[in-house]
Structure 1
Amino acid sequence: MSIPTKKTEKREQISFRIASSEKKRIERLARALNRNKTFVFKEAISHYLDINEWQIAGIQEGLEDLEHGRVVSQEEIEEEWRRKSEGSVD
């Protein structure tokens, strides 16, 4: 779920080093996709950010639930699953 960059959005150049084996993987993937390496890098970064932002948001939401007492005990969960497995869902 990458977010397209607006054409009017300022673009900046970055530089970093990667292992030669990773560079070769990126080049192979770019060729297989009939895209350039920049496309592969942008997609990889976008996906990485999406996943990690989603994960951090979930953790923060869970901490807020805990802080406000919105919790369910292990026993309650086990009882609910036991009832579901027996076919008696309340």
Structure 2
Amino acid sequence: MSVMSMRLPDEAMDRLGDLAKATGRTKSFLAGQAIMEFLERESWQVNEISQALGEADAGDFASDQEIEAMHDKWGGNAR
């Protein structure tokens, strides 16, 4: 396991301390958990965007019929 030092605003550190006391966890555990959740979410988003760009570059777009079917299914203004 690696060690990292970082600066946090006083308010964030206070809130982290309060949460650590309330949950019986360490500040380090909570910060590590928050970073892992952030990395998972951001990695997923970057991967989805990359995949969509690849599909767009390949000309893989929804047809007019697919758009119309989605409009019929979900309603609203699809165009």
Given candidates 62, 65, 79, the residue that maps to 1:72 is 62
5+ residue gaps, structure 1, are: 1-10
Q: CA deviation at 1:73?
A: 5.4
1:62 aligns with 2:52: yes
- Give the structure 1 partner of residue 5 of structure 2: 15
TM-score by length of 2: 0.81
TM-score by length of 1: 0.72
RMSD across aligned positions (CA): 2.1
1:35 aligns with 2:25: yes
Q: Deviations over 1:54-79 (max 9, x none)?
A: 000000000011111111157852x2
Given candidates 62, 69, 72, the residue that maps to 1:83 is 72
Which one has a larger percent helix, Structure 1 or Structure 2?
2
